[in-house]
Amino acid sequence: MAPKKKNKSPKKDETKRAQADKLKEQGNKSLQNENYQKAIELYTEAIELDDQCYAYFHNRSLAYFLIEKYQLSLQDAIKCKELNPEYPLGYLREASAYLELDKHEECIKSAKQGLEIEKDNQQLIDIIKKAEEEQKQNFILAEDDPELVNHNTMINWLLDGKSEFDNLKLQWYSKNYRGVHARRKVYNKETILFIPKSHLITLEMAKETDVAKKIIAAKLNLLSPKHSFLSTFLLQERKNKESKWKPYLDILPSDYNQFPIFFSEDDLSWLKGSPFQNQVREKKADIKRDYDDICSVAPEFAEYTFEDFCWARMTASSRVFGLQINEQKTDAFVPLADMLNHRRPKQTSWQYDDQREGFVIQALEDIPRGEQVYDSYGRKCNSRFFLNYGFINLDNDANEVALRLTFDAEDPTIERKKEMMGGDVPEFKVYRILENYQEQNVSEFMSYLRFILIRDNSKLLMLSSLHEQQTENSENLSGYKPQKTPPISIQNETDMWVRISNMCQTSISLYNTTLKEDKELLAKDNLTQNQRNCVLLRSGEKEVSFFQEQKNPKITELQMIDIALLYRNGRQNVKIAKDEQKRNYQAQFVIRIYQVQCIHKQSYYRNITVRLKLSFLLMNNLLIQNKKTIFNIPINYYLQIYRIGVNKQINRQIKQYSRYLKQLQLVNQLFVKKIVVKNLKFSQIVFNIYTLFVILPLQIQHQSSNYFIFLKNYF
């Protein structure tokens, strides 16, 4: 007869349970202190002592969830339910894990089971709602939709090639519109995508085809050589049904009808008056020239139509990444990475990692689960986004308008200007200007226009002298550069702003609609996407022109006689402006004083001392309501800005700091005392200030030394 089994000692079981409960309490404290790994260890010890307590599995499930180990969290949640089917939080843990694993059906089923136990559990209600929303998004495309099938094929192709993007997923918003989203929370500096070199289409690879070799041998002068090489490669590989690249090529758009070079004449008519209309036609003509040149040296390439080549070129312009691989610059198509949509400021950064031998994308901020993950295509005008990417950025601070500068045929100084520039002047010069007048190209545009408008040979002689001083010790003896022309007189500066205003008015008059009418059109929903994008583009151009014509604060000063002309007329007691915008502009003079002083190098500091004294005199007249504040802001606040700037920008050496403290004392005295300068025209004071605090900050980053030479010799 077999021996009877001995019953376990109840006392021993109670001892184990007490030990396990103690471990659970310690784990709970670790969980509260966000020491999740320690909590997991303690819960695991408790489970080893007693594997029949549902609470231990629930708590460890929560800890696993918080460190994003969702599969382990799910396993513990399922065990918790088995041990206690009446515990609603077990269903919450299970549903939460299913949601993070994108198993929406299972998530909803589990949460509904939990609601049968606790019908008012808001967490379970919320998780069902979220799962249903995500489920709808995932089913915009049917499972057998060719586009979805092709994308899944590409994803598997990349994974088979050892690509890594566990935290990313594709999400469709409509049939032809999708984005890349975070599958789970992404953390700052986390690498979220890796594509090995074996799965990149590089420029070097594209140059190895027979067609490319003929192009190279013929030394064709293509207008866009890189994009043309990559385009010929795409078309040849797309024809090859056995191509290694088929999984990637199959997900590329079949058409680019939203790109302007494919627009019908009717769509292009919506761009009437816009310089962009000609830009589109020129782009198409350039592509046609490259296509014809390629066919002339490689006749077999003519089997691809011009429309095919346009398709490939737009694929290249909208998807290629500029990389550096093993210190060699190249261009490449990067599957999946080219599906990230655009956003500024940058949310991610990308590069080729030589050590890992592949392309990587790293997050620059935390990205919540489910949120879209963006790339930045750079700071570009909408005309570039539209032409090369086929979309309009609705909130774009880089919109531009093209303004064309020409020398006046009847200019009496034209021969002298030709001589200064090295023998001739260009037929015309085009600048693309923005609303922000502090941009370098806007500053150069203003300088170029100053030079064009000079009618006084003595001013040209002064500029020639300045140019000679600047190039005296330089090997570069090129002619005078008009884009570096500084302010030379009140009249010239006034003429410049008047001309800018007139140019912008002319630009606006070319459109067949007003800005107001464009806004009204955009408020309606009867436009096609192409028509809407055209209206958005032209309205953006008009806003820049309108700003330059009427809103630029410098125009307000000089043309509207806000400050300069008041002094010109001999008014020495200018009152503080009642208009808030003008008053704010007056107040900004003070900050500019500090900006100028802080940015300048020590060797140039003494040259502006006199200018600063005169400027502070004007500040007294304009701004100081009492001896201690400017518009209720203590003077010491401005002095603090100055002190920090001096310490950081001019000279970091402690032994030199005392010199600038003495200057601080001078600044303070100028602020709190009334200073009178006799026999000085106030119009000259105004122009000094305008130069120092309006124009000089625009140029300071590019040619500060040149400006100080000019100030020293002119004033």
pLDDT digits (tens, 9 = 90+) for 500-541: 888 888 888 899 999 999 999 999 989 999 999 999 999 998
Tell me the backbone φ, ψ of residue 400, rounded to 5 degrees. Answer: -130, 165
Query: CA 285, 286, 289: angle at the middle one, nearest 5?
Result: 85
What local confidence, expressed as pLDDT, does residue 604 receive?
A: 32
Question: Greater confidence, 409 or 222?
Answer: 222
For range 685-710, the mean pLDDT: 38
Predicted TM-score (pTM) of the model is 0.70
pLDDT of residue 636: 42
Range name among 316-320, 445-449, 523-527, 569-573 with the lowest pLDDT average: 569-573
Q: CA dist 295 to 40, 208, 291, 303, 698, Å?
A: 67, 17, 6, 9, 48
Q: How far apart are CA 313 and CA 307, in angstroms?
A: 10
Percentage of the chain lying above the pLDDT 90 cut: 53
Contact between 387 and 283 under an 8 Å Cβ cutoff? The reply is yes
The end-to-end CA distance of the chain, in Å, is: 121
* Beta-bridge mates of residue 341: 374
pLDDT at 694 over 50: no
Name which of 310-319, 409-418, 564-573 the model is least confident about. Answer: 564-573
121 near 114, Cβ under 8 Å?
yes
Residues of the chain with CATH 1.25.40.10: 13-138
Alpha helices in 298-356 (DSSP H): 306-319
CA–CA dist 688, 186 (Å, integer): 53
| Predicted pLDDT at 683 | 39
Over residues 623-677, the pLDDT tens digits come to: 333 334 333 334 443 344 334 433 343 333 333 334 433 443 444 443 333 333 3
Work out the pLDDT band at 439, boundaries 50, 70, 90: confident
Range 195-389 has CATH code 3.30.470.20: no
pLDDT attached to residue 379: 86
Helices assigned H by DSSP within 547-579: 553-559, 564-568
Give me the pLDDT at residue 476, please: 57
Query: Counting beta carbons within 10 angstroms of the beta carbon of residue 322, is it exposed (0 to 12), middle (13 to 18) or buried (19 or more)?
Result: exposed
In which band, very low, low, confident or very high, does the pLDDT at 158 lie, cut at 50, 70 and 90?
Answer: very high
- Confidence category of residue 474, pLDDT binned at 50, 70, 90: low
Whether the per-residue pLDDT at 614 is higher than 70: the answer is: no
Picking from 41, 35, 169, the residue whose alpha carbon sits closest to that of residue 100 is 169
- What's residue 16's pLDDT? 86
Which of the four pLDDT bands, split at 50, 70 and 90, describes residue 145?
A: confident
| DSSP, res 186 | B
CATH 3.90.1420.10 in the chain is located at 400-559
Angle 88-100/70-83 helices, nearest 10 degrees? 160
Q: Average pLDDT in the 199-204 region?
A: 98
Q: Residue 363 pLDDT > 80, yes or no?
A: yes
Strand partners, 196: 358
Please tell me the distance from the alpha carbon of residue 302 to that of residue 211, in angstroms, as a whole number. 11
Domain 13-138 indexed as CATH 1.25.40.10: yes
Q: CA neighbours within 13 Å on the CB side: how many for 343? A: 15
The secondary structure of the chain in percent helix, strand, coil, rounded to multiples of 5, reads: 60, 10, 30
- Can you tell me the mean pLDDT for 471-490? 71
Q: Is pLDDT of 437 > 80?
A: no
Q: Of 415, 404, 400, 340, which Cα lies nearest the Cα of 375?
A: 340
Mean pLDDT of the residues in the chain: 78
In the predicted model, what is the mean pLDDT of residues 181-200?
Answer: 95
Nearest to 301 by CA among 231, 219, 254: 231
Task: Identify the pLDDT of residue 300.
Answer: 97
CATH of domain 400-559: 3.90.1420.10
What percentage of residues in the chain have a pLDDT greater than 70? 72
CA pseudo-torsion sign 456, 460, 461, 463 = positive
- What's the rounded mean pLDDT across residues 281-292? 97
Confidence grade of residue 556 (pLDDT, cut at 50, 70, 90): very low
Q: What is the mean pLDDT of residues 275-282?
A: 93
Across residues 400-419, what is the average pLDDT?
90
Confidence of residue 140 (pLDDT cuts 50, 70, 90): confident
Query: Averaging pLDDT over each range in 259-263, 400-404, 436-440, which range is the top one?
Result: 259-263
For the stretch 77-96, pLDDT in tens is 999 999 999 999 999 999 99
pLDDT in tens, 110-134: 999 999 999 999 999 999 999 998 8
Least confident of 183-187, 444-448, 541-545: 541-545
Strand stretches in 380-449, DSSP E: 400-405, 429-434
Whole-number pLDDT of residue 443:
78
How does residue 471 score in pLDDT terms, banded at 50, 70 and 90? low
According to CATH, where is 3.90.1410.10 located in the chain?
195-389
